[in-house]
Amino acid sequence: MAIKGFNYQEFAQNLTQQAAELVPQDFTDPEKQYVVNTLLNFSALAGEALYNDTESNFNADQAMMITQIIAEWAFHKSVDLIRSKLPQEFWDSIMQKIAFTIFEIAKQTFRQGLPQDQILQLIEHHVKKTYLDAIVELKDKGFIDQGLMEQASKQSNIDAMMQQMSDEQAAAEQQAQAQQQQGTTQTPSQGQTSAATSPVQGGSSPKIMKLATVALLFQKMKQEKVQTILNKFNPDDAQTVIKYMGMQDLESRVSVSTTLKCLNEIRTNLPKPQELSPSKIVLKLQKVTEGIERPQLEQMLKQERMKVKRLVFNALEGEYYEVAPKVANIIATHIQDSV
């Protein structure tokens, strides 16, 4: 039975229209078109497959969520492929592997009823693994060299987007600090509620204050970037942020000290960039294989490529087999998940 209320064609078109405004401006017209077409094709195919799925019993919200996840990753990884400088003849096959991976994992995790955060984390892990495995495979088959493999493996549009958000947050924080040092205050206009008694400020919970601070930050960002980030928020929190963004006098309703405090808390909770030094990867591999007998480990790695085996067994001897650190870390994580 088809999913009631799920118009996958219209939904795919809406997602594509939103994404078209976010394509990097430095891309050529053919590159921009590739990103848009890839997103449209994969989201439409996924939507159609879900619509006709008679076994999973997904509702419209679940079907739209899975389709949107595929669309977002289709956007980010097609951008990564263009920036990677890999030959275009390989782009479609890599994107097909990524889309298939997302589709299968999303269906399994939604059927299992896993929490949304866990679903998104699992999908992100497997998307990155599939992308890197595809690049390593091109290198192993002699289609690209080591340098191009490493360059391609470093591409991550989604990480770059989050880093940009962090940088803009830091800039806003510095501006707020400068205003505080200069003793700059904004006097409420007649009839305007002061910061001390504002509904945003007085008696508000810490969470509300953080959402108001995020709204203040978003007011200084390009709206298309804001929408992309808001799509990852809890729907209720996103609505609260949007409401505060609509306040023209929001800056006067939140004190500088409160803004700085919230920004510091938000920054503290941002994920720290992971250092991928060879020594740390060796230690990680030693830790995840601790307690596993060598015959058992050999059996686990039986189907893996020779370079993967060398990376693991060299690590057991305290040596690092020359593999791009990001690729090595993905391998270590994969083994950790398999134990």
Q: What is the pLDDT of residues 142-164, one digit of tens each?
A: 999 999 999 998 888 877 776 66
Find the mean pLDDT for residues 172-190: 55
SS (H, E, C) the chain: CCCCCCCHHHHHHHHHHHHHCCCCCCCCHHHHHHHHHHHHHHHHHHHHHHHCCCCCCCCHHHHHHHHHHHHHHHHHHHHHHHHHCCCHHHHHHHHHHHHHHHHHHHHHHHHHCCCHHHHHHHHHHHHHHHHHHHHHHHHHCCCCCHHHHHHHHCCCHHHHHHHHHHHHHHHHHHHHHHHHHCCCCCCCCCCCCCCCCCCCCCCCCHHHHHHHHHHHHHCCCCHHHHHHHHCCCCHHHHHHHHHHHCCCCHHHHCCHHHHHHHHHHHHHHCCCCCCCCHHHHHHHHHHHCCCCCHHHHHHHCCCCCHHHHHHHHHHHCCCCCCCCHHHHHHHHHHHHHHC
Q: What is the pLDDT of residues 27-67, one digit of tens each?
A: 999 999 999 999 999 999 999 999 988 888 888 889 999 99
Q: What's the number of CA atoms in the CB half-sphere (13 Å) around residue 40?
A: 14
State which amino acid sits at residue 137.
E
Give which of 133, 108, 129 is closest to 119, Cα–Cα. Answer: 108
Please indicate whether residue 338 or residue 237 has the higher confidence score (pLDDT).
Answer: 237
Q: Given this model, what pLDDT does residue 165 score?
A: 65
User: Which range is least confidently modeled, 57-61, 90-94, 287-291, 302-306?
Assistant: 302-306
196 — phi, psi (to 5°)? -70, -30
User: With 50 as the cut, is the pLDDT of residue 187 above it?
Assistant: no
Q: Given this model, what pLDDT does residue 248 score?
A: 66
- Give the pLDDT band (50/70/90) at residue 245: confident
Q: What is the pLDDT of residues 207-240, one digit of tens each?
A: 677 777 777 777 766 665 666 677 667 777 777 7
Percent of the chain with pLDDT over 70: 73
Quick one: tokens of 152?
A: 């391609």
Q: Given this model, what pLDDT does residue 84 score?
A: 93
- Give the pLDDT band (50/70/90) at residue 253: low
Find the mean pLDDT for residues 193-204: 40
Q: Given this model, what pLDDT does residue 66 score?
A: 93
Q: Given this model, what pLDDT does residue 90 score?
A: 94
User: Is the CB of residue 8 less than 8 Å from the CB of residue 44?
Assistant: yes
Find the mean pLDDT for residues 267-271: 54
Overall pTM surpassing 0.75 (yes/no): no
User: With 80 as the cut, is the pLDDT of residue 330 above it?
Assistant: no
User: What is the overall mean pLDDT for the chain?
Assistant: 78
Handedness of CA 69, 337, 312, 137 (dihedral sign): negative
Q: Given this model, what pLDDT does residue 50 score?
A: 92
Q: What is the pLDDT of residues 201-210, one digit of tens each?
A: 444 456 677 7
